[in-house]
Structure 1
Amino acid sequence: MSRRLLFCAVLALTVPLAGCTADTPAPPSPLPTSGGGAMRLVAFDSCRQLADDLRKAAKASVGPYGLPGSEMAYPELLSDGARAMADAAGAAPAAAAAPDFSRTNVHEQGADEPDLIKTDGRRIVTVADGTLRVIDAATRKETGRLDLEAGRGGELQLLLSGNSALVLVPPGYHHRAITADGPDPRPGGQRPQVLLVDLTGTPTVVSRYRGEGALIDARMTGSVARVVLRSTPRITFPSESGQFDNKKRIAANRETIDDAPADAWLPRWEITDRTGTTTGQTDCGRVSRPAGYSGAAVVSVLTFDLTRPTLGSGDPVAVVADGDTVYATPDSLYLANDDRWRFAGRAVDRAHRQTELFKFTLTGNQPPTYRASGTVPGYLINQYALSEWAGHLRVATTDGATERSAVRVLAERDGKLAQTGIVDGLGKGERIYSVRFLGARGYVVTFKQTDPLYSLDLRDPAKPTVTGELKITGYSAHLQPVGENRLIGIGQEADGNGRIQGLQVSLFDVADPANPKRLAQYHLPGGHSHAEYDPHALLWWPATSTLIVPVESRGALALRVTDDLTLADQVDQPALFRSLVIGSELWTLSKAGLRASDLSTMDQLAWVPMES
């Protein structure tokens, strides 16, 4: 059985916290399932059981520098950089019709993703350096500014719905308020925050949620946002600069785990609104566990309705797990766990080279409901490796040990995500660089020296097949649909030995599944684009067949897409990383400011500085 099957709801703020003494019984409160054959979820029976089981699991997985998955545990395994979260525009306030405007480039329509900038066609809302700004699109003037009291640090994100903005603050920021429980003892112990901002008149923070751990991702359908946090135990491991014996380090860390109380694993929160500040903590009986787990983290999925006057506790759904990837449609949310963190620094047998998947259904403004779970061999490249269509989940993974990639089709069967079909052996000796599923078709790019683009027929979930293959030099790191039977690939050109040669934009004709073709290529030697690793940096505007591609240190390229790729113009705005269209104007965002340009000529119309 999978080690991460069991999720459950935690206490709302209105429920008194249960004491977490060693033998306090935990009330049975399994997360509701959808009925039918779905397996029941089992909570810990008591705080004593929670403490004993989590200590045992944590001691088995702890390394010389701490628990797996933390920034301190295995620094050599940190990724090259986080993929930025994305966005789609929120609902516009009821008024006269807004001009046509672009929506942020997202994976699934109707499942909004947070980003640095949003628009409803009338106003533009941005967040940067601890400040939220509102710009009126008609007058091209800043009409509101709000210090979020979040300090300065990492990248803020926001979601927009009507006159409400939900701002996501990563734990790299410092909240200026002094909390009742004092400073967090963990390295980098600042806490993630979720802020509800009223945009009516002068922007105002009306509710502030302060959680623990890392901000993984978020999705919004309508006015309801789901925010995923991952917290690690509040355990301070000994730091002895003179101690270089890893065995002794691990022994000392295990002793520290033995001394940790049960509530070290229980996520805490603090909510501040107009009525004051309230604190809460997950109850022992509200935490679920699978058959096996690392004891290194707890994942919580929070639900916030932006039409409500305050955030509340978010009605968390919590599990002992190490979730790292979120994929959602308007009706489903999937959480994926990459097992490599659990076994970091140690040999991993073939059985554990896998990704675990958990499916939840989304209904209105209610917390997610658990439906099913499953495992697939290998690892995902990102959320685009997942796709739900016609009641099935398609999953693309690469097994690093065998250097083989595959696409599997899964269906929900009695609480499990069971495999119904597979296409295996893609790009032997290579790994997946990008994936895009579009209805009954799928496209997978693998790369080592050349770039095979595989075309897949997924109409029959029992018999998915490769229908075509195109080999070209270089690779595509993101595949973007640009009209019927057309794909854009954003990536890098490479020579015959696989050495990269600069930014490559490819236009593919995929009308014939057996014979995908590259119609055109735009190559910028030495160039790189944020869109290679952050699809939200890319703008496709079908009304004028214009593709806006940001280029590091050079502004952005405006490419006209027909049966060819032609450079229509260029936006000269250094460090540009976002763009959007409102009416006949192109708005581009950089750290220095927001520029409005004529979409047809790229002539500058206005400049709104972003620097304080």
Structure 2
Amino acid sequence: MRRRLWLCVMFSVLPLAGCTSAAERPTPPPARSPVPAPPIKLVAFDSCDQLLKELRAATLRGLTPYGLPGAVPEAAYAARDMAGAGAVDAAAAPPAAAPAYSGTNVHEAGADEPDIVKTDGRRIVTISGGTLHVIDAVGRRETGRLALGLHGGAQLLLSGDRALVLGYSERKTSRLAYPSMGAGVILVDLSGPPRIISRYRGDGRLVDARQTGNVARVVLSTATKLDFPYVDGDDKSRLQRNKRVVNRAKVDAWLPTWEVTTSGTTTEGRTDCGAVSRPDSFTGSAMLTVLTFDLTAPALTDGSPVSVVADGDIVYGTPTSLYIANDQRWRIDAIGGRSAPDTEIFKFALPAAGKPVFEASGAVPGRLLNQYSLSEWDGRLRVATTDLAERESAVRVLEQRGGKLQEIGKVTGLGKGERIYAVRFIGDRGYVVTFRQVDPLYTLDLSNPARPAVAGELKITGYSAHLQPVGDDLVVGVGQEASAEGVREGLLISLFDVEDPAQPRRLAQHVVADSTSEVEFDPHALLWWPATRLLVVPVNGKANGAVAVHVQNGTIRAAGNLAGEPVRRSLVIGDQLWTLGDSGLGVANLSTLERIGWLPLT
């Protein structure tokens, strides 16, 4: 979910301060090239007075005659799908009689990710059109549905008989006379007909979430509530008026607020000043908050919020750590296409129970592609970025030293004149795909974190947008085939042998002409079922449906026909393959892929 200046246009029907058209507002002068951020370290606030003083000072430093750069009204995010997006869910174990089943395709085992569908082997829980549906996988029938009252692209997590649904919710605040949009979290009981136990409403946008066991960590980003109404006059007078707004503001203008409703009773509150930390350098325009919810608890709480004065776009998690990265890509919009500042990274330690602990922060040059650009291994963080100014990519290794994530090694010069299209770190190796006309697949030796190095390179046409491990020293790439001139030609599935990192090879490929796949931008859409070596990839183009292939013995072999209705997700439950589309669920025999059932969701 990236900030965009045109969001003001999208929401011009709402009475939001600060959203004026270009015709009403003079064009601001070009921003100066960003100065590289100094090293950042961890500092906690001792009191609300100290917090307010430093927030005002930081906000004034970045203030312009037109307000704060990059700030977007919270209501604007209501129309944006939640970003983000496992092995079998790490939540409560299903009954012993439950058949084998697949889970969400996630980055790290034991850190489940929200998605539009989940299963525990006995039932399927999915969200379509703002309604939660529960399907009996054995009887192949819908057993319950629940209107959620959420907006945007809702997703969910599952733990036993509980679902945690994440989306956007209307909220009436004392500051506004009309409902505003903010993060919405709903705890649903699935033990009988689905029912809402508790509803959490909070400021800001949903960045992402991760679940380990029955505990979910939900990340929100909240913009400042400072109101900078446009007034006539020159830039100097407008800036002076904006400064007065900042100097008169109370700490509530920055602190996120929340409300929780359970059994008709609503409790309200705000994040405590003592729960807020900051890096050395910050703008005061946004605040990251990590909430903790136990899916087995009787009801939702305030989430025990832990906040950092910063913004965030990408979440990467392991069972013991949570990283939030902010590549400040909005600055590219604000400064007319110039390269963005460094990517900031914030690390939280995750105890088995209770709130996370903000441990360290750091920065690297360039920007990330997605969460797969980050990987924790042996206590260190590997980071892959593309530097738009230098027009090349790099992988850096960061080590936590006190409150800092400090660089201890790097390999640069990847894909000169290109950008990263896919990254995957597997153990002490890394795989990076860059692209402009041909696809260099780089294999990286990361066994010595102080001296990471390129081990090998494979140049082929096209590119991979997602890399999926499919066994020892085998990786599948899903992306686009392309001509020698770099013109995209259709969906490409490649099988790479990386046993010898110095000489990576492509063993096989499968092309679907004039087609794309949701996997290219959301790996949750991919199904890899190791038991039968089955790979299922949704396809959109001349023919909708999915490509199902067997990946074995160095080949990619067609497994059957899944053409027909558009497919967004695929699930294995016992000897059945379920496919989810916008209009319903299809059921096929796992061995033959012959259709044996259809369940509409209308």
User: TM-score interval w.r.t. the shorter chain?
Assistant: 0.7 to 0.9
Give the whole-Å Cα distance in 2 for the aligned partners of 1:250 and 1:473.
Answer: 52
Give the whole-Å Cα distance in 1 for the aligned partners of 2:422 and 2:54.
Answer: 39
Aligned counterpart, 1:99: 99
Superposition pairs of residues 385-424 of structure 1, within 5 angstroms: 385-424=373-412
**Does residue 527 of structure 1 match 2:520?**
no
**CA pair 561-286 structure 1, distance change in 2 beyond 3 A:** closer
Report the CA distance between 1:83 and its aligned residue. Answer: 4.7
Query: Retained in 2: the 8 A contact 1:68–1:343?
Result: no
Give the whole-Å Cα distance in 1 for the aligned partners of 2:299 and 2:497.
Answer: 49
Report the CA distance between 1:66 and its aligned residue. Answer: 4.6
Aligned counterpart, 1:21: none
Aligned counterpart, 2:290: 301
Give the whole-Å Cα distance in 1 for the aligned partners of 2:573 and 2:247.
Answer: 58
Superposition pairs of residues 462-481 of structure 1, within 5 angstroms: 462-481=450-469
Give the whole-Å Cα distance in 2 for the aligned partners of 1:244 and 1:493.
Answer: 54
Give the whole-Å Cα distance in 2 for the aligned partners of 1:82 and 1:278.
Answer: 25
Report the CA distance between 1:88 and its aligned residue. Answer: 5.5
Q: Which amino acid aligns with 1:325?
A: I
Larger RCO of the pair (alpha carbons < 8 Å, separation 6+) = 1
**CA pair 40-522 structure 1, distance change in 2 beyond 3 A:** closer
Superposition pairs of residues 20-419 of structure 1, within 5 angstroms: 41-43=43-45, 45-47=47-49, 49-62=50-63, 66-71=67-72, 83-85=83-85, 89=89, 91=91, 95-150=95-150, 153-169=151-167, 171=168, 173-174=169-170, 179=172, 181=174, 183=176, 189-238=180-229, 253-274=242-263, 276-341=265-330, 345-346=334-335, 353-419=341-407
**CA pair 81-118 structure 1, distance change in 2 beyond 3 A:** closer
Q: Deviations over 1:97-151 (max 9, x none)?
A: 310101110000000000000000000001122211110110000111112233x
SS at structure 1 position matched to 2:182 = coil
Aligned counterpart, 1:545: 533
Give the whole-Å Cα distance in 2 for the aligned partners of 1:64 and 1:133.
Answer: 49
SS at structure 1 position matched to 2:394 = strand
Q: Which amino acid aligns with 1:260?
A: A
**CA pair 81-244 structure 1, distance change in 2 beyond 3 A:** farther
Relative to the length of structure 2, the TM-score reads 0.86
**CA pair 138-468 structure 1, distance change in 2 beyond 3 A:** same
Give the whole-Å Cα distance in 1 for the aligned partners of 2:416 and 2:467.
Answer: 21
Relative to the length of structure 1, the TM-score reads 0.85
Aligned counterpart, 1:431: 419
Give the whole-Å Cα distance in 2 for the aligned partners of 1:103 and 1:459.
Answer: 30
Give the whole-Å Cα distance in 1 for the aligned partners of 2:153 and 2:401.
Answer: 40
Q: Which amino acid aligns with 2:522?
A: D
Give the whole-Å Cα distance in 1 for the aligned partners of 2:130 and 2:67.
Answer: 31
Give the whole-Å Cα distance in 1 for the aligned partners of 2:361 and 2:422.
Answer: 24
**Does residue 577 of structure 1 match 2:578?**
no
Give the whole-Å Cα distance in 1 for the aligned partners of 2:513 and 2:600.
Answer: 31
Give the whole-Å Cα distance in 2 for the aligned partners of 1:94 and 1:407.
Answer: 40
**CA pair 413-84 structure 1, distance change in 2 beyond 3 A:** closer
Moved over 6 A (4+): 243-249, 347-350
Q: Which amino acid aligns with 2:400?
A: E
SS at structure 2 position matched to 1:54 = helix
Give the whole-Å Cα distance in 2 for the aligned partners of 1:136 and 1:63.
Answer: 56
Aligned counterpart, 1:12: none
Report the CA distance between 1:342 and its aligned residue. Answer: 5.3
SS at structure 1 position matched to 2:207 = strand
Aligned counterpart, 2:547: 557
**CA pair 92-140 structure 1, distance change in 2 beyond 3 A:** farther
SS at structure 2 position matched to 1:576 = coil
Computed over aligned residues only, the root mean square deviation of the Cα atoms, in angstroms, reads: 2.7
Query: Retained in 2: the 8 A contact 1:570–1:602?
Result: yes
Identical aligned residues as a percent:
53
Report the CA distance between 1:311 and its aligned residue. Answer: 1.4
Give the whole-Å Cα distance in 2 for the aligned partners of 1:149 and 1:570.
Answer: 37
Aligned counterpart, 2:15: none
Give the whole-Å Cα distance in 2 for the aligned partners of 1:524 and 1:154.
Answer: 31
**CA pair 135-81 structure 1, distance change in 2 beyond 3 A:** closer
Deviates further, 278-287 or 133-142:
278-287
**CA pair 599-458 structure 1, distance change in 2 beyond 3 A:** same
Give structure 1 stretches of 5+ with no counterpart: 1-37
Give the whole-Å Cα distance in 2 for the aligned partners of 1:280 and 1:199.
Answer: 28
Give the whole-Å Cα distance in 2 for the aligned partners of 1:315 and 1:102.
Answer: 32
Give the whole-Å Cα distance in 1 for the aligned partners of 2:524 and 2:233.
Answer: 44
Aligned counterpart, 2:441: 453
**CA pair 96-82 structure 1, distance change in 2 beyond 3 A:** closer
**CA pair 418-596 structure 1, distance change in 2 beyond 3 A:** same
Aligned counterpart, 1:603: 594
Q: Which amino acid aligns with 2:48?
A: S
**CA pair 429-166 structure 1, distance change in 2 beyond 3 A:** same
Query: Retained in 2: the 8 A contact 1:304–1:365?
Result: no
Report the CA distance between 1:279 and its aligned residue. Answer: 0.3
